[in-house]
Amino acid sequence: MSEDIEIDLDDLKRRMDGAMSALRTEFASLRTGRASASMLEPVMVEAYGQMTPINQVGTVNVPEPRMVTINVWDKSMVGKVEKAIRESGLGINPQLNGTIIMLPIPELNEERRRELTKVAAQYAEHARVAIRNLRRDGMDQIKKAKAAGMSEDEQKLWSEEIQELTDKYVALVDKTLDTKQEEIMQV
């Protein structure tokens, strides 16, 4: 009877990969003093009656290490894109040149770098919490399987596998955070 009972580790792994992917996306939006098109991903523009990502109203380019440009396709949208960038909290002052919006990326001062490392740490903590919640889901699956007749030895084996997977992903979050914090503090 207990042979039919399987805990879906692949599903847990896939969902933990999703948590890591979300963390990397959040880290990409943190500015490190270097220009990157991904820093504009969270910025939404009110276009044609709905909120739209910037990359859907214009072409985002990085022509040099400290400059991002946005070539807005619709001339009537330039003001809205500029306003969205100003209000995004990125700390960037857009400069207009026709339909092209230039975003010079200023050097980060020490205080701002420290703030950004704290924000990165918060993002990492959210990812850890998500991974631990997935661990709890896996443990709940084991409890249900116990009720369906899973032996104690199998429960222990599955619990250990889920814990190993959780530890692996939490360590990956920590490593990713350390890398990002080093990148932010680099002058």
- Taking only the tens place, the pLDDT of each residue in 113-168 is 888 888 889 999 999 999 999 999 999 998 888 888 888 888 899 999 999 999 99
Mean pLDDT throughout 15-20?
Answer: 93
Q: What is the pLDDT of residue 65?
A: 80
Computed over every residue of the chain, the mean pLDDT equals 86
pLDDT in tens, 33-49: 667 777 787 788 988 88
Same domain assignment for residues 165 and 140:
yes
Q: What is the pLDDT of residue 1?
A: 37
Between strands 50-53 and 44-47, the pairing is antiparallel
Do 23 and 124 meet the contact criterion of CB atoms below 8 Å apart?
yes
Q: Where is the domain boundary, 66, 85, 104?
A: 104
Same domain assignment for residues 75 and 121:
no
In a domain, 122, yes or no: yes
Q: What is the pLDDT of residue 175?
A: 96
Q: What is the pLDDT of residue 187?
A: 64
In a domain, 2, yes or no: no
Same domain assignment for residues 120 and 178:
yes
Same domain assignment for residues 163 and 129:
yes
**Residue 40 belongs to domain spanning:** 34-104
Q: What is the pLDDT of residue 128?
A: 95
Domain of 138, CATH number, reads: 1.10.132.20
Same domain assignment for residues 98 and 135:
no
In a domain, 40, yes or no: yes
Residue 4, pLDDT > 60, answer no
Q: What is the pLDDT of residue 159?
A: 92
In a domain, 167, yes or no: yes
Same domain assignment for residues 114 and 180:
yes
Same domain assignment for residues 52 and 144:
no
In a domain, 162, yes or no: yes
Same domain assignment for residues 179 and 113:
yes
Residue 176, pLDDT > 70, answer yes
Q: What is the pLDDT of residue 31?
A: 65
Q: What is the pLDDT of residue 171?
A: 96
For the chain, give the percent of residues with pLDDT over 90: 33
In a domain, 137, yes or no: yes
Mean pLDDT throughout 69-90?
Answer: 87
In a domain, 80, yes or no: yes
Same domain assignment for residues 90 and 118:
no
Question: How sure is the predictor about 2, in pLDDT bands with cuts at 50, 70 and 90?
Answer: very low
In a domain, 77, yes or no: yes
Q: What is the pLDDT of residue 3?
A: 47
Domain of 99, CATH number, reads: 3.30.1360.40
pTM of the complete model beyond 0.85: no
Question: How sure is the predictor about 15, in pLDDT bands with cuts at 50, 70 and 90?
Answer: very high
